[in-house]
Amino acid sequence: MPGLMQRAVLALALIAAFLVVVLWTRQPATRERFATRRSATRPTTTSAPTWQRPRSEERKDERLKMVREQIASEGTWPFSRTPVESRVVLEAVRSVPRHWFVPANLQGRAYADGPLPIGHGQTISQPYIVAVMTEALNLTPDSRVLEIGTGSGYQAAVLAEITPHVFSIEILEPLQRQAVGRFTKYGYNTIRCKLADGYFGWQEHAPFDAIIVTCAAGHVPAPLIEQLKVGGKMVIPIGPTGFEQRLVLLEKSSPPDPPTKTTLMGVAFVPMTGQISKEE
């Protein structure tokens, strides 16, 4: 029974992710505000990154096509979307071979426009969503970023193209072990990844300039807000499993003022587990 429930939740998340893309095209005003907000917060860098990052020619044409048609363009109905504009983010996604992070039986769909199952009821996110969430954080090479939900390791690898200060937490031991194996095999040596409940963050490496949460929560975990720098940004899906999740960007204000919140778009993510499930 648990296996059937897990598969049902995963199937629902995959279907919802497809429908969210379609529904998002019907919100032109929201998309326009999102584009305006992003252009006003585009990161600037003063020097070229100096850390070692993996490079591969494997399936490069597919990567370039994925970025060109799925991420950097508006697409065509029913897949119209606000294009990602950050050159830093676009180059990061072009540089990471997504097929390295996809199960062997799904290699033919590694560059498809949608999420894919990676086992244990989890998914690797749609390439466009990875790029949108990364762009929202406005990262620079000096940024310290915490990821909640390592999953396949793909999102962490994209982050590591922009900054060497990437800290990632995964609650499921098989996924954490596999992700660390990929980081080691392919040379993502700057990513630090541990097995833990992401609800509690990673206090010993706090504060963070940015936090990215890759699973949906009913509310923002208090420890994550505490570990975010004043002025720092967090992007997190908020809402139950299904069609009501919102991708929210928070910016931490000086206490006692609460963080500012901006809804970016509708999304569909698998749920956060662990401590948060005891509070909801």
Catalytic site positions: 125
Burial class (CB in 10 A: 0-12, 13-18, 19+), 28: exposed
Three-state secondary structure call for residue 43 = coil
Instruction: Give the integer Cα–Cα distance in Å for 276 and 245.
Output: 16
CA distances, 101 to each of 96, 130, 146, 217 (Å): 10, 13, 19, 24
Instruction: Give the integer Cα–Cα distance in Å for 93 and 127.
Output: 8
Q: Hunting for tokens 């676009």 — which residue is that?
A: 90
* Nearest alpha-carbon partner for 234 in 258, 255, 256: 258
